[in-house]
Structure 1
Amino acid sequence: MQHVHKYQHFALDKNANIINIHDTDTTGKQQYFCPYCRAEMITKRGNIRQWHFAHKTDKCSYDNYLHSIAEKMIMDWFNRQETIMLVMKTQEKCNKYGNCIFYSKEHCQRETTSQYNLKKYYSKCIQEQRYGDFVADLFCERNGKSTEPLFIEIFVTHECNQKKKNSDIRIIEFFIQSEEDILNIINSSRITEGYMVRLYNFKRKNTLGDKFAQSFQKYVLYPTMKSYVDRDRYTCKNYNQHRKGIYEISMPYDECIPSFINSGGFYTVGKVKAYLDGYLKKDCQLCKWQTTDFSGDSFCKLYKKCGNPKYCKDNDAIQCSMFRKNEEFINNAIADFNNHIKNDFIEIWP
């Protein structure tokens, strides 16, 4: 694995304490050691290159060095902190999700966070401790208990193995690629789940909220037999209130995905359904004699023969004795409707 910064800026003093190169003794009398191989290090404090430690003889792996100082520095940080807030991802769901037929993961839940003070539960952290079949990079013992520990794993070149992930032991895995990554951890009092911090086997408590609202569209048929689709005033919270028509169809609405586009849209399907359910008696759009001209305007094929108004928008279908239902058109629309309700709910009233 390639690292941007190869210099080793940390070493151990004779008491096994981590020392920054900028805090080293200038007399040359103190000895320093590699955190991984324990070989003696010398200080490089010149005027050209950045100050760093170097092995006196054979150089060891930078990855191993990085893993070792991460263990030591994170352990020391954990043990001296009074508060460490773990910020973990959870889900907030609509508080009506349990009895709502329109509940969907996409619209009725969202990712949020919850946080816990780890030091309330774990006060002591030690390196390389065995627990059952596993050895933790850092082992955090639960207060007053020998069971339910917390593992902190350091991922430099190898992530936590699957068997350990499946063990039900709570694990925090830090993805470490540089000394800066370690400093970002120990210079904070928070551990936030994300790309650099992975959590395994933590219980996540979902929360409930009342601020979810799906957009709805409603087909409304009035007593006058006029109808329209309202896409502005309704949501999942009010679609079943303030009834205005004799027949209504309500459904969730996504303006980016038109409903029933293959059969003319929701307005057309609403008419077909109202007609088949016996509420809409006649409608020019459902008549076999309707067609369109070159400009796309609908007109009646029988306007010359029967004296009907040419354009259907001028025609009162209720009074038309020549109305004949368009079987193919109606069958296509209702098939589209039936396919939709296999996977998505629609409310029909009454």
Structure 2
Amino acid sequence: MITFHNATDADGHIIHIDEVTRENRAEHYYCVGCGEEMSAVLGDKREHHFRHKEAHCSWESYLHKLGKKRLKERFDSQKEFIIKYFVEHHCDKVKGCKLESIYKDQKCNRREQVAIDLKKLFDTCEEEVTYKGYRADLMLSSKEHPEREPIFLEVSVTHDCKPEKLSSGIQIIELKIADEKDVLRPLVEEDSLFGRTNPQQPYDFNALPPIRFFNFKRIFETARPLERFWVAPDDKGILRGNCVQDNLTCRNVKDNHREDSIYEVAIPSEVLVNNCKPNPYEFGMMKAIQAGMDVKHCDICDKRSRCILNFNEEVKDEKTGEKNLVPRRVPMARINDQRLDKVAQASGCKNYAHNRFFVYKVLSNLRNLPYWEWKKD
């Protein structure tokens, strides 16, 4: 005999039989599947359950609607709605790559399970809506970003999604339900032997897993981000070193150059050397000096520690409250980049000389750092 452990209360909320006590058993309960009234059976001999008072609905219909309601309830009530599925990262240039030794524990050719919080992408969960001609059990969409493609959440008891629906290109997560406990399954894809990275047909349909992901992007080209240092002349012809993390990666580093640059150095963004993240500006400046670029900066001048500049500082008179400019002699070591353009200052200084020990020290400390170097012809 089929035993029902879930029902809805007068407000439409799902109630498990364990939540019913002898004090509230007389309240009105209704079947999740057919909507007919049910009674709570709390006997001492049999397992507690809900029983139809008159009609008796289809077990398949009951499970299907229970699955939809539980999924919607989870999405609407929880702060996070996590899904997990497997993807593959692929790189056809991994052999002999400069980054191979650094990322040996995070291989560029690898299979991994990714976790995504759908509450960060979608804010609406609707039942039985149509999109592109296909009916969804539940559809997740975003009111804030209506252009974002929705995701279908499908519940299967005896009827799985039809092939034409799976071939629609719509992202579909299908939950297979055999009993009431299955509706609480986390939406996590199993790492099984029948998993395949074919977006249209990722599974062996003779052995379908209980949680299935269709039309999700499965294969990604590995592209490690790089930080770019470049040297370019300003409007006065002074060569300046610049640093930025843009769209430069290990895949496009050989051809991706800035139009204004005459020299570039690229280093991995995520790499630690001697437990410290390299300073791309310092490293780039040292490599540029080594390459013969006429780049200067007061902080890498050999005379920095002895350099004193005349500055006019604004000082407030304590008696009159007036502000006056007072000449001061300030050591270079106490002046920051916001206060002085140290590139322009160094470029116009007759006494400037590179601190060759500093250049050597930086390059020596980062001698194992992989980098790409480019110089304009």
What TM-score results when the alignment is normalised by the length of structure 2? 0.47
Matches within 5 A, 1:263-342: none
Q: Give the whole-Å Cα distance in 1 for the aligned partners of 2:71 and 2:155.
A: 10
Matches within 5 A, 1:13-28: 13-24=9-20, 26-27=22-23, 28=25
Change (3 A) 1:98 1:155: farther
Change (3 A) 1:37 1:200: same
The amino acid of 1:161's aligned partner reads: K
Q: Does 1:84 align with 2:60?
A: no
**Which residue number corresponds to residue 214 of structure 2?**
200
Structure (1 or 2) with the larger CA radius of gyration: 1
Q: Give the whole-Å Cα distance in 2 for the aligned partners of 1:29 and 1:9.
A: 16
Q: Is the 8 A contact 1:121 1:143 kept in 2?
A: no
**Which residue number corresponds to residue 45 of structure 1?**
42
CA RMSD of aligned residues (A): 2.7
- TM-superposed CA distance for 1:29, in Å, is 3.2
Quick one: which of 66, 90, 94 aligns to 2:63? 66
The amino acid of 1:111's aligned partner reads: R
* Equivalent position SS for 2:113: strand
**Which residue number corresponds to residue 176 of structure 1?**
177
* Equivalent position SS for 1:122: coil
Q: Give the whole-Å Cα distance in 2 for the aligned partners of 1:141 and 1:98.
A: 42
* Equivalent position SS for 1:140: strand
The amino acid of 1:78's aligned partner reads: F
The amino acid of 2:14's aligned partner reads: I
Q: Is the 8 A contact 1:83 1:119 kept in 2?
A: yes
The amino acid of 2:34's aligned partner reads: C
- TM-superposed CA distance for 1:205, in Å, is 4.7
Q: Does 1:34 align with 2:25?
A: no
* Equivalent position SS for 1:96: coil
Q: Give the whole-Å Cα distance in 2 for the aligned partners of 1:9 and 1:24.
A: 10
- Structure 2 runs not aligned, ≥5 long: 98-107, 191-208, 225-377
* Equivalent position SS for 2:144: coil
Aligned residues: 195
Q: Does 1:131 align with 2:162?
A: no
Q: Give the whole-Å Cα distance in 2 for the aligned partners of 1:42 and 1:116.
A: 40
Give the fraction of aligned pairs with identical amino acids, expressed as a percent. 32
What TM-score results when the alignment is normalised by the length of structure 1? 0.51
Q: Is the 8 A contact 1:84 1:118 kept in 2?
A: yes
Q: Is the 8 A contact 2:87 2:217 kept in 1?
A: no
Q: Is the 8 A contact 1:142 1:150 kept in 2?
A: no
**Which residue number corresponds to residue 152 of structure 2?**
151
* Equivalent position SS for 2:174: strand
Q: Give the whole-Å Cα distance in 1 for the aligned partners of 2:48 and 2:223.
A: 53
The amino acid of 1:35's aligned partner reads: V
Q: Is the 8 A contact 2:74 2:81 kept in 1?
A: no
The amino acid of 1:133's aligned partner reads: G
- TM-superposed CA distance for 1:119, in Å, is 1.0
The amino acid of 1:138's aligned partner reads: L
Matches within 5 A, 1:91-106: 91-93=88-90, 96-97=93-94
Matches within 5 A, 1:192-231: 192-194=188-190, 195-206=209-220, 208=222
